[in-house]
Chain A
Amino acid sequence: DAGVTQSPTHLIKTRGQHVTLRCSPISGHKSVSWYQQVLGQGPQFIFQYYEKEERGRGNFPDRFSARQFPNYSSELNVNALLLGDSALYLCASSLADVGAGGYNEQFFGPGTRLTVL
């Protein structure tokens, strides 16, 4: 079975541009979460979607937005890119809503490496 997939793997943009990152969850998983991981730090939570509805939002500016499609894939959009947006963007999927707790494990994709010049 395919795991969580993300595209593209690498991306180089310049300041002020816009970027769209894509994520396909594990088949059957309805929850998708997005994380930003700056080099040398742990992932920071950006968004979580379940059944196409936003269920959680981290402390990120409105330049960051996301959506989930009927097939449960997801897009993360970042407008007006800043140098500080350079990071590894991780997508994670889980079977149930994150609020279900317990052993509802999140499976991570390989990430998209975004470099803003």
Chain B
Amino acid sequence: KNQVEQSPQSLIILEGKNCTLQCNYTVSPFSNLRWYKQDTGRGPVSLTIMTFSENTKSNGRYTATLDADTKQSSLHITASQLSDSASYICVVTDSWGKLQFGAGTQVVVTP
């Protein structure tokens, strides 16, 4: 069973609207959680990173939250743009440095 589950699998939003992606994990012991943006056919690019003690981290219009008690994270995209169309992958690192990847949420922003 995958230790990192993301939802929804995909979503379509209108340009200018906001959306929130979810990530639940069971990875333990926990080191950090990253959100990556992956354009089609390209490598993932890091958006945010949070450790156990961090609850929120922003990068421009992207805001990630982390609840280490419930092992949940979210990525909020504000005022979406066409360039936000991509797959967003949640990656959890354990204390030994092993990365566990979620399957990603495919976001499509339409005009």
Contacts and interface: CB of A to CB of B under 8 A. Distances in A.
Q: Is chain B a partner of chain A in the same complex?
A: yes
Interface of A: 4, 40-45, 56, 88, 90, 92, 97-111, 113
6 contacts: A41-B104, A44-B101, A45-B99, A101-B96, A104-B97, A106-B99
Contacts of A98: 97-99
Contacts of A56: 98
B103 A111 contact: no
B95 A101 contact: yes
Interface of A is mostly: loop
Q: Which 4 A-B pairs give the minimum distances between C-beta atoms?
A: A108-B43, A42-B101, A98-B97, A99-B97
Contacts of B93: 101
A103 B91 CA distance: 13
Nearest to A104: B97
A111 B32 contact: no
A111 B96 contact: no
Contact of A101 (B41, B46, B89, B97): B97
B32 A100 contact: no
Interface residues of B, number: 26
- Interface class of chain B by DSSP: strand
A90 B43 contact: yes
Given A40-B103, A42-B102, A56-B98, A102 B43 contact: no
B53 to A, nearest CB: 13
A109 B43 contact: yes
B31 interface: yes
B42 interface: yes
Nearest to A35: B101
Given A106-B99, A111-B42, A42 B89 contact: yes
Most buried by A among B31, B101, B102: B101
Given A42-B101, A105-B34, A108-B43, 6 more contacts: A56-B98, A90-B44, A99-B97, A106-B99, A107-B46, A110-B41
Given A42-B102, A102-B32, A103-B32, A108 B97 contact: no
